[in-house]
Amino acid sequence: MSLDNDPDSGAQRPLLENSGEPEYGTVDGVAVASSEQSERGTFTRNLGAIDAFAIIISIVIGSGIFTSPGSIDANVPSPGVALVLWLIGGVLAWTGASTLAELGTAIPGEGGVQPYLKRIFGDIFGFLAAWTWIVAVMPATLAILSIVFIESIFSAAGVADQAGRIEHKLLSVLVLLLVNGANSISTKASTRLNNFFVVTKFVSILGVVIAGIVVLIIGASNPERNIGGRDWLTKSWFGFRDSVLPDGSIIDWGQLSQWEILGHYSTALYGALWAYSGWDKAVYVSAELKSPARQLPLAINTSVPTIIICFIAANAAYYILLPWNLVSTTDSVAVAAITRLLGHGFGIVAAILVCLVVAGALLGNSFVTGRMTVAAGNMNWLPRFFAVVGKVGATSNSDPGSTDPPETSKSDAPLNALLLSTILSTLYILFGNFRALLTFNGLGEYSFFFLTVLGAIILRYREPDLKRPYKPFILIPAIFVVVSGFIVIRGAIFAPVQAGILVLVWIIGGGFYFVRRSWTRTREVEE
């Protein structure tokens, strides 16, 4: 059968055509993504708003708040500007999350942005989003977190600049294996362990904030006492100062053009967006919420503001606890601040807490990665055994299209999906590095965030009668589209190598899509 002459081919389908039929999402002639399956889903609806709140907190509050401040401060002319960028990053995350809550409560389905892009722009867009997240964004995220976990331990021991050593990489792989193993037990076990990590996150940030408040009070009441950084007391928070980089070079802001300054601001915003990364993940578990129309917006509109307040408070505390010229030169700001204030012993305690925070982020991201892969398997975008839950390997059920766990299995974890995630993330750990993966991750995520939120605006005009239990004011998605579009364009110009690799990932994914679709249609004709 010629695909070029097929009226249902993605090449012939109008970009914004409203079609519910999958391109090649059929098994034995039956649509995989049926409305029944979309409503029923692969996983049981046994999560509540508190669980969703905890998952968002666990994913977002990770390594970023403890490692990003240095890279952000290095690319801004003053601490005040840094705090403003933290606020902008938070507002951007909130507008995006609110828009995804609208889509998540209006369009049922598993897989986050995948079903939304498929419905709005066509099957191949949904596939490329799934492909990008599964083979690029999420493995890179898990690799970054695993690397940061090990580097935090060595940083507390006074060992630095050794991230490229094979010993460090193998230890990072070990951490990844342990976390993915924990997620392989069951959904309930994952959420209970996740709730423990949420507590450690708040304790860690609270400790930093309390230390900053104590120094603030002591310094304000006794200006002559040498405690903390003191720059917060003697210098202007918005006054331009030269920025010191980790390699010892200095940025003289007075010598830069507006375009160059804008480039540095964009780089700093990428650091903030990495810290806020994960705001979209609540929609990946919307199919498991008992009442998603009520619980999803509630979880998002409580968790994201909480995170913004925590991040701004923690960063203000860093500037109180440390001399400002030290903030930009370290990737372990929290450990450095506590060590300087309370000594090496407390620095080790801080490093342990940071490791627990990173472990929680690893757990949450690993949890969501499995759900993404299952959704892609259910859509027949990936081989069907990736949608199997409760066992490793192909389903042994009599129904070849069934993805239900075997009756003898006590686990509802997506084991095949977690195995794929482990393999890909291990490759990223062995062959990647922190900063390159960070930029690559941001470009991949925000390319599809931009398309998804733009699609939500288009859908309002194309399907005005679509039932939307939650519908934020149109200005909210519009703000996200403008800012995220700028971020993607400026990021691609600033990092052409990572952008080129991402385009290559899309080309390979597109080839896989059309080959697999052609194979599926050929099999249908033969049968």
**d(C-alpha 512, C-alpha 127), whole Å:** 10
The contacts of residue 345 (CB under 8 Å, 6+ apart) are none
Q: What pLDDT does 25 receive?
A: 36
pLDDT at 132: 92
Q: Give residue 446's domain range.
A: 26-374+414-526
Task: Write the CA distances from 107 to 39, 230, 287, integer angstroms.
Answer: 10, 52, 10
With tokens 């930029």, the residue in question is 439
404: three-class secondary structure by DSSP: coil
384 in a structural domain: no
Q: Is residue 245 part of a domain?
A: yes
Cα–Cα distance for residue pair 456/459, rounded to 1 Å? 5
> CA 455 to CA 36: how far, in whole Å?
24
What contacts 351, CB < 8 A, 6 or more positions away?
Answer: 152, 153, 155, 156, 332, 335
What whole-number distance in Å separates Cα of residue 467 and Cα of residue 37?
Answer: 19
Please check whether residue 387 lies inside any domain of the structure.
Answer: no
CA distances from 164 to 145, 176, 266, 355, 497 (A): 15, 17, 27, 19, 20
What string of DSSP letters covers 421-460?
HHHHHHHHHHH--HHHHHHHHHHHHHHHHHHHHHHHHHHH
In a domain, 258, yes or no: yes
What CATH number is associated with residue 312? 1.20.1740.10
**Encoded tokens for 116:** 């939304």
Number of domains in the chain: 1
* C-alpha distances out from residue 285 to 39, 57, 367, 401, Å: 13, 14, 10, 23
Q: Has residue 379 been placed in a domain?
A: no
Question: How many residues does this entry show for the chain?
Answer: 527
Task: Give the tokens for residue 469.
Answer: 């239990």
Q: Give Cα 226 distance to the centre of its chain.
A: 40
Q: What single letter denotes the amino acid at residue 23?
A: E
Q: Is 183 within the bounds of a domain? A: yes
Neighbours of 279 (CB within 10 A): 26
Task: Tell me whether residue 8 is in a domain.
Answer: no
Residue pLDDT tens, the chain, 527 long: 333 333 333 333 333 333 333 333 333 333 333 334 444 455 566 677 777 787 787 777 777 888 788 888 888 999 999 999 999 999 999 999 888 888 888 886 655 677 888 889 988 998 998 899 899 988 988 988 888 888 777 766 666 555 567 888 888 899 888 887 777 776 565 566 666 666 777 788 888 889 889 988 888 888 777 777 788 888 899 988 888 776 667 888 888 888 788 878 887 887 888 888 878 766 666 667 777 777 878 888 888 899 999 999 999 999 999 888 888 877 678 888 888 888 878 888 888 888 877 877 787 778 778 877 887 788 778 888 787 776 676 654 444 444 444 444 556 677 888 888 889 999 988 887 776 787 788 888 889 999 999 999 999 999 999 888 888 899 999 999 998 898 888 778 877 888 898 999 999 999 999 888 888 787 777 66
In-domain check, residue 460: yes
pLDDT of residue 227: 76
pLDDT value for 457: 94
Structure tokens at 229: 């950084």
